Amino acid sequence: MATTGTKATTTTKATATNTDKPKRARKRVKAGQGLKDTPATAPSKATKKKAATKKATPTKTKVTAKKKATIKSSTPAKKSPKGCLEAAVVVLTKAKKPMGCKALMDAILEQKLWSTQGATPHQTLSSAIQREIKVKKKESRFVKTGRGLYTVKEKTSS
C-alpha cells in the first residue's frame, strides 16, 4: 500500500511539471524530415485550406531581345546526333571508308558532334558499336570490316 502511494505522488509531480510548459503540437514538415515541434497557436487546417484555395495571379515576365536571340539560336536548323553512335554514323558516312575507333572518336570530337569528360571515349564507342552489332545483328547500322575497323552498312533499295 505504501508503494502505491508513492507512485501516485510521483505521477502528480510529473503532470504538474508538464502543465508549466506551453503546449506544443507535433507536426510533420516534409517527407524525410521527421517531426517538428510547433506551438499550439499554429494556424489550423481550415485556415491553411483557405490560404491554399486563393489563386495567385501570374506575373508577366518580360522577354528581352537577348532572350529572344538565345531562344532562336538554341533551336538548331539541322538535326544534330544525340549520342556517340549517331555521331559515328555521321562521320563514317562522310568518310566512306572503314575507320578505327580512335580515329573515329577524334573526328567526332573535332567536329563537335558529341562531347564527353571521360578518359577513354574511344573504348566507349568501340563497346557501343560491338554491342549494336551483337544485339541487332542484321539490323545494325555498322559492319566490322577488319580488326578494330568499322564502317556503315550500305543501304540497299528494295
pLDDT tens digits, residue range 27-78? 655 555 655 555 555 555 655 555 555 555 555 666 565 555 554 444 444 5
Amino acid, single-letter form, for residue 45: K
What's the whole-model pTM score?
A: 0.49
Strand partners, 142: 152
Distant-in-sequence contacts of 134-137, Cβ < 8 A, 24+ apart? none
What mean pLDDT comes out for the span 1-19?
52
d(CA 15, CA 28): 26
What's the Cα-to-Cα distance from 148 to each of 55, 77, 143, 153, rounded to whole Å?
63, 34, 11, 16
pLDDT at residue 51, as a whole number: 56
Domain boundaries, the chain: 84-152
Hey, what amino acid is at 145?
T
How far is 91 from 105, CA to CA, in rounded Å?
9
Using pLDDT thresholds of 50, 70 and 90, give the confidence band for residue 154: confident
CA 64 to CA 74: how far, in whole Å? 15
- Specify the pLDDT at position 76: 47
pLDDT in tens, 80-131: 678 999 999 999 999 999 999 999 999 999 999 999 999 999 999 999 999 9
